[in-house]
Amino acid sequence: MAELRTEPNDPSAAVLERARARYSPAARKVVDAGVDLFAQVGFLATTIRDLTRSCGITAPSFYNHFESKEALLYDIVRTANSALEQRLDALEVDTLDPVDALSGLVYGLVTFNLTHPKEARIANREWVFLQPAMRDEVSTHRRRVRSLFEQVLASADTQSGLLDGAHEAVPDELEIRLLAMSILNLGIASSDWYRSDRPLTIPEVGNAYCRLALRMAGLAPPAAPRTPSPRKNSRPRT
């Protein structure tokens, strides 16, 4: 079970904040500007001069804080990735039943992406511009997260046979990977349309995506939704 966490609401926010404490105040400004610009116009379209202008220094001063433009991207991506990974690992999904495990993963993923939409966008879309060595490391992290989802979906399948892949030509293993990729993409897409000034709160959207993911996995009835069971403190209900 996962009742050990102390943060009541969003542990990843604390993780992300702590990771940023290692920057000096000046470097922190640079990182913030990088997060803004990389998320808004992309890594390639962002110039050092754009970046430094938006935080009140000149281009050369950038290199007092980071080795290169790419090093800044790497810092941002790695920080976001490990914050998400810590959050999902803390769920200890292998101790939960499939419904709670999948719900927890989706809720954690979606609320992370909505709470830190810029960091999430960069981690999801811009990491491909890193050099192969760094990119491979990032790739490993992403694969680890994906395998969390696949593991839960596989155990949901073997434990209760709820997936309906058997009636088609699609093997279970591929159906599971397809499902995992799709659900992960939901989380990425969520931050594309969500705006914090909308009528929905982040927990509400998180729960909506949980129901959606359960339906996708065949773990929830479509027309007569099951009454939600009492939830862990990490996944508040509305």
Partner DNA sequence: TACATACGAACGAACGCTCGCTCGTGTGGC
Partner DNA sequence: GCCACACGAGCGAGCGTTCGTTCGTATGTA
**Of 157-176, which residues contact a second copy (CB under 8 A)?**
161-162, 164-165, 167-171, 174-175
Per CB under 8 A, the list member of 24, 182, 196, 229 interacting with a second copy is 182
**Of 4-33, which residues contact DNA (CB under 7 A)?**
24-27
Residue 186 interacts with a second copy (CB under 8 A): yes or no: yes
Kindly give the residue spans of alpha helices, DSSP state H, lying in 90-225.
98-115, 117-125, 132-160, 172-193, 202-216
Residue 132 interacts with DNA (CB under 7 A): yes or no: no
Q: How far is Cα 55 from Cα 27, in angstroms, rounded to an integer? A: 10
User: Which residue's CB is nearer to a second copy, number 41 or number 59?
Assistant: 41
Per CB under 8 A, the list member of 181, 196, 229, 233 interacting with a second copy is 181
Residue 49 interacts with DNA (CB under 7 A): yes or no: yes
Residue 195 interacts with a second copy (CB under 8 A): yes or no: no
Per CB under 7 A, the list member of 9, 61, 86, 155 interacting with DNA is 61
Per CB under 8 A, the list member of 139, 188, 231, 232 interacting with a second copy is 188
Amino acid at 120: A
List Cβ neighbours of 120 (8 Å cut-off, separation of 6 or more).
80, 84, 112, 113, 187, 188, 191
Q: How far is Cα 60 from Cα 169, in angstroms, rounded to an integer? A: 59
Helix 172-193 crosses helix 132-160 at what angle (to 10 degrees)? 120
Residue 92 interacts with DNA (CB under 7 A): yes or no: no
What's the DSSP call for residue 62?
G
Q: How far is Cα 116 from Cα 136, in angstroms, rounded to an integer? A: 23
Binding window for DNA (CB under 7 A); candidates: 41-49, 121-129, 154-162, 180-188: 41-49
Displacement of CA 157 from its chain's centroid (Å)? 24
Binding residues for DNA (CB under 7 A): 24-27, 46-50, 52, 56-65, 68-70
